[in-house]
A and B are shown apart, each in its own frame.
Chain A
Amino acid sequence: MILVQEADFDAAELLARLRRRTAGKAGACVTFTGYVRDYAEQVSSQSLFLEHYPGMCESEIEKVCEHAKARWNVLDYLVVHRVGELRLSEQIVFIAVACAHRGDAFQACAYIIDALKTRAPFWKRETLASGERFWVSQREEDVQRAAQWEHPGESGE
């Protein structure tokens, strides 16, 4: 299940939903939750706005998840990504992966967030306490993390 929405989410309820759907088969569920942080250094943030490309976001996240499903024997997954106006420390993204074994679940969840960050068309615009606005730049570290999954020898497998 993939949801792109403005509303906040209940991570515990989402995990419970995944557990119900994989009861008796999943030996491990791994989850990742991302929160709004200060993207600017030395100045305090007021809020964050997340713009997205409706349709392409959902289809790119699905491609990423389906790739993970085939590569690590994922039984089921669930991804929720928020858009619109968000405040500091609010939840942005939730990923839950259910597998028979923990190794697969850890790898699949890490892959999904790394690939999502470089492939899903979302853009963050930060507003500082001063009222100044700027678009957040893509981090080179995120690009390198995503690229490591293309070369399994370097991704700890």
Chain B
Amino acid sequence: MVNGAAIEVLYFAQVAEITRVRRETWPLPEPVPAAELLSRLESRHPGLAPVERLKIAINQSHANPDSLVKAGDEFAVFEPVTGG
């Protein structure tokens, strides 16, 4: 959890190779839908476009673009998974 109206943004695998970092702290005064964060992500890291294909998790649970993200949340962004 993060102090001061912010979220932790986590990147994995292919996404982390493009962002060149695995973790960022973003200010987030008001809750926003995950889709809004994905479009901010695309502006910050244009190499990730199109972001619509990416999967997201909020506090380590799968989430949708409509899901609300609020201060203190852990927001993770990654390509479709390939385990097993």
Chain A residues at the B interface, C-beta cutoff of 8 Å = 34, 50-53, 55-57, 59-60, 81, 92-93, 113, 116-125, 135-138, 142-143
Contacts and interface: CB of A to CB of B under 8 A. Distances in A.
Nearest to A125: B13
Contacts of B61: 56, 59
Interface of B: 10, 12-14, 57, 60-62, 76, 78-84
A120 B83 contact: yes
A74 to B, nearest CB: 19
B79 A123 contact: yes
A56 B57 contact: yes
A134 B14 CA distance: 9
A52 B76 CA distance: 12
Chain A contact surface mostly: mixed
A120 B81 contact: yes
Contacts of A125: 13
A110 B13 CA distance: 27
Given A59-B61, A123-B82, A123-B83, 5 more contacts: A34-B84, A55-B60, A60-B62, A117-B81, A135-B82
Nearest to A121: B81
Given A51-B12, A53-B12, A124 B83 contact: yes
Contacts of B78: 53, 121, 123
B79 A135 contact: yes
Contacts of A118: 80-81
Contacts of A55: 60
A116 B13 CA distance: 18
Nearest to A56: B60
Contacts of B83: 50, 52, 57, 81, 93, 116-117, 120-124
A52 B14 CA distance: 12
Contacts of B82: 117, 122-124, 135-138
> 7 tightest A-B contacts by CB?
A122-B83, A123-B13, A138-B80, A117-B84, A56-B60, A124-B82, A135-B14
B75 to A, nearest CB: 12
27 contacts: A53-B76, A56-B57, A56-B60, A56-B61, A57-B83, A59-B60, A81-B84, A116-B83, A116-B84, A117-B82, A118-B80, A119-B62, A119-B81, A120-B83, A121-B57, A121-B76, A121-B83, A123-B13, A123-B79, A125-B13, A135-B79, A137-B82, A138-B79, A138-B80, A138-B82, A142-B84, A143-B80
